[in-house]
Structure 1
């Protein structure tokens, strides 16, 4: 996508909002690539000089703090490949591989808790859990129970937490959804991408509307409090008319949240994308029309923009948190939970611990070998400088709320805003002249016309990007 973003604090007229959000001249002017800022600094800045020793030191620094934690479990297995996919996954139908993997997840959890010097009976409180993939529901029922038991051996679920799992509607039954509810999950995210048969054939993912409807019905039956549906625009064979039909079908499914991601065609990085015929991708004019129609449809249906690809109903927790200034963002997306340490487990998983980011090794063989040696499976990471922490806070506020009160920000971080960001002055002036930002007294605002391009605004404050000799491989900002 990349930025489908909304009025943050006030209800505005739908017609005027749709008109001002889509400014074709601005979109054309800033048709560039840039980071998605699921973290700052972005993951391409992580390095191998950050080692297991650094991770262990970070874990010790947080072990005595009284706080709740966020957990991420990466479950990489998928039974078949989707050609558009850019996730870290392992294609297999062998459940023996997943059975072994969850035992090593338990080993890693025990090793992390040991590194934090916790007493054997001590459990860390968690307010957020996410199983991602891959396809988490690749696991059998016994494997799901075993993994959740391992989690609860070390961590204690808090009331009103966000406990979510990614679902492939093609591969779950009512019994699966019932079990997930029993295990403690209260939110699900469903991959749809597109309901058009031609598009599904082109991306090697056949999924019916009926399958998707059944999963949503079961989730309501068993008490899940939130449902999110993921779509992707810009896929092969898509047209404005065909995607409009998909969006209308999704609106009829009535999920609380809808994410609409822009397909980034990077076949030189993601090998499965080499099976997509570039000539089948919609052209720039059609892709913009798809985006425009999608925004129009969702806003007419009562959804509002949250930011970074996300829409939600006005009474959804995300929309309420944004209105009240409590919205946060982490590697799994937007959250109502306060900024907290994220412990991540499994191959390629990325965590945030104290003032560090850490990522695990990429292959199963490396992962198993290191844990068998009683080592943590650290591949790379980085420790943030004071400057990184200041800029991370600023970029996070932009992504969640589209404004910065310079006076309050200066007081919070003990800086003078204008002096601290003097190197950004020229770029900020350019963005202001272009209409991407406005100054209202001491407040920097991203107006409605600039919110699709908020990533470009964030880039102005990215010191690593400015000082780097390489731009990295990024997707389009819209």
Structure 2
């Protein structure tokens, strides 16, 4: 049963308290899923996904499709994505064929009359593909699932401005995309050189001007703070230039330096990384400059103009989170296609292999390439809902939780609420009747607050969260 949407009070900008931020700046999940991917196991395979796809048809929920395109012409040193470095676009042809095979296998279990409300191409660099290859991929998706022409659809693609031009944008529009996300990271030439991503502002500006002219509904820019050679002053200059470009959305990520997990990061000189205090100053400047410019701080690292669909969804209580971050399209079943892609179907998560050979071998053998996953328990479903609402609404109506799941919510979450007692004493949360409200001072620490409800995170182990990035 899905609770009706309830309009929420407008969310104010967070209050800055450096001492509190330092004290609570531990490591923790980003909660693009609950349970997180660390809970997935290899006992979950293709048959389990097939069964979930079939079960999901009874819901009649619309579909969301994610397509992973792993190819990049150059490796950015900060990157933690699953990618293959090559300049040979012909290498994409066998991959596209296998993507089509995966679509065919998945579509056998789906009612393909369900509308595809959301489509997202990520990577890697989706615009690595030639125009013809992009057209071919859209045709295959349409043939297998039936794509939408509704003006309310959310069809987005990630673009590297170094590898796209105005002709690319016009082609993407003709294919049905209505939202683009441009990777920028930083506009300072010294920072760009340190991360192996030289990208003059003019490239980004030209594409944005053309996207506005063509009528793309929403433009997102990705920035990263905490990169080598950045300072609070230099990042503020980047932000000022970005504000002039007037994107509808901004994602401003905290760089997580984890070279033991992501080999390209070993090319970064650790001595050039900003200090923890400098990173806090960058975050403070980010929030101050963007809110002064009229952006709404949606949560964590997302900002949007007040009339953007993300801000509207948050005000209406319908905002959600998925593996691409915050989303305005709630209640979709997400099917991930391609190497490393993750699906969220019905009550399961399913992930494809991160290794291209293993992905290809499964499809060549006629099997869905599911390598690992998880079917959620009733407790998982309850906690997933609670964590998602807390992170999206910045509040949690315990009475509504109890009514939805038929539980005594305060008793059910007694341990979680006890873990939140210090945060309440520090003014990060407060109770308004039966509703737990995240204060302005607590919004920057929303990941810490959500962790209290995570039953799969060993709360008593000091190094339990070492595989996660820092919260601030």
Query: Distance between the aligned counterparts of 1:472 and 1:289, measured in 2?
Result: 24
Q: Does the Cα contact within 8 Å between 1:303 and 1:313 map onto a contact in 2?
A: yes
| Aligned equivalent of 1:21 | 15
Offset at residue 174 of structure 1 (A)? 1.0
| Aligned equivalent of 1:99 | 93
Structure 2 residue 136 is matched with structure 1 residue 146? yes
- Mean alpha-carbon deviation: is it higher for 176-185 or for 218-227? 218-227
| Aligned equivalent of 2:455 | 463
- Mean alpha-carbon deviation: is it higher for 51-60 or for 130-139? 51-60
Structure 2 residue 442 is matched with structure 1 residue 450? yes
| Aligned equivalent of 1:255 | 247
TM-score, reference length from structure 1:
0.94
Offset at residue 274 of structure 1 (A)? 0.5
2:147 pairs with 153, 157, 164, which one? 157
| Aligned equivalent of 1:32 | 26
Structure 2 residue 279 is matched with structure 1 residue 293? no
Offset at residue 432 of structure 1 (A)? 0.9
Q: Does the Cα contact within 8 Å between 1:124 and 1:154 map onto a contact in 2?
A: no
Query: Distance between the aligned counterparts of 2:214 and 2:365, measured in 1?
Result: 42
Query: Distance between the aligned counterparts of 1:365 and 1:86, measured in 2?
Result: 20
Offset at residue 429 of structure 1 (A)? 1.4
TM-score, reference length from structure 2:
0.95
Offset at residue 155 of structure 1 (A)? 1.8
Offset at residue 338 of structure 1 (A)? 2.1
| Aligned equivalent of 2:361 | 369
| Aligned equivalent of 2:66 | 72
Query: Distance between the aligned counterparts of 1:194 and 1:9, measured in 2?
Result: 33
1:337 pairs with 318, 321, 329, which one? 329
Q: Does the Cα contact within 8 Å between 2:62 and 2:331 map onto a contact in 1?
A: no
| Aligned equivalent of 2:75 | 81
How large is the Cα RMSD of the aligned pairs?
Answer: 1.4
Change (3 A) 1:467 1:53: farther
Query: Distance between the aligned counterparts of 2:409 and 2:450, measured in 1?
Result: 15
Structure 2 residue 9 is matched with structure 1 residue 9? yes
Which consecutive unaligned segments of at least 5 residues does structure 1 have? Answer: 1-7
Q: Provide, for residues 362-394 of structure 1, a one-character-per-residue CA deviation record: whole Å limited to 9, x for no partner.
A: 222212211111101011000000000000000
| Aligned equivalent of 1:304 | 296
- Mean alpha-carbon deviation: is it higher for 359-368 or for 180-189? 359-368
Q: Does the Cα contact within 8 Å between 2:320 and 2:330 map onto a contact in 1?
A: yes
| Aligned equivalent of 1:112 | 106
* Match runs of 1:72-471 below 5 Å: 72-116=66-110, 122-158=112-148, 159=150, 160-466=152-458, 470-471=464-465
Offset at residue 11 of structure 1 (A)? 6.7
Query: Distance between the aligned counterparts of 2:299 and 2:326, measured in 1?
Result: 9
